[in-house]
Amino acid sequence: MHNSRGAIILPNFILTRMNIICIKDNLDRIDQLIRLNATGTPKELALKLEITERTVYRIIRQLKEIGFPIYFNKAIRSYCYKYEGKLIFSFESKCVDSEVINEIKNGGGVKPH
C-alpha cells in the first residue's frame, strides 16, 4: 500500500525512498549500544539517536516481537541482550557456484569459503 506521496506504508511505520538507510543505521547503532550495555534510559537513547522516546519504545517492542532477547537492566540503566548475539542485516544467496557443483559431482565434499 502507498500513501499520497508514494511512500510504502508498512505496519507501525512509513518507509520513504531515503529513510530505509536511516532505519538500518539506527538499528545498527541500537544493537551496538545494547552489546556495549550503553543505551542509557529510553530517554537517553532517544537523544543519542535523535528520535523520540516514543519511537525508542516502539523499536524495542518491535524487536522483541520478532524474537530479539532484549530487556532493560535497571542496575546499569541500559537495554541488554539476555544472551550474547548481534543484529545482522544482510542478504544471503541460496545459489551454489559452479566450482562447488563440480566438486560435489567429482565426489569431493563442499569446502568452506
Return d(Cα 27, Cα 21) in angstroms, integer: 10
Q: Is residue 106 part of a domain?
A: no
* Average pLDDT per consecutive 10 residues, the chain (113 residues; last block may be shorter): 47 56 90 97 95 94 94 97 89 70 68 55
Q: Is residue 17 part of a domain?
A: yes
pTM (global) more than 0.75: no
- The single-letter DSSP state of residue 104 is H
Q: Is residue 15 part of a domain?
A: yes
Three cell numbers, residue 86: 548481534
* Full residue range of the structural domain in which residue 16 is found: 8-85
Which domain CATH number covers 46? 1.10.10.10
Domains contained in the chain, number: 1
CB 45 within 8 A of CB 57: no
Tell me, letter by letter, the H, E, C secondary structure of 55-87.
HHHHHHHHHHHCCCCEEEECCCCEEEECCCCCC
Q: Is residue 56 part of a domain?
A: yes
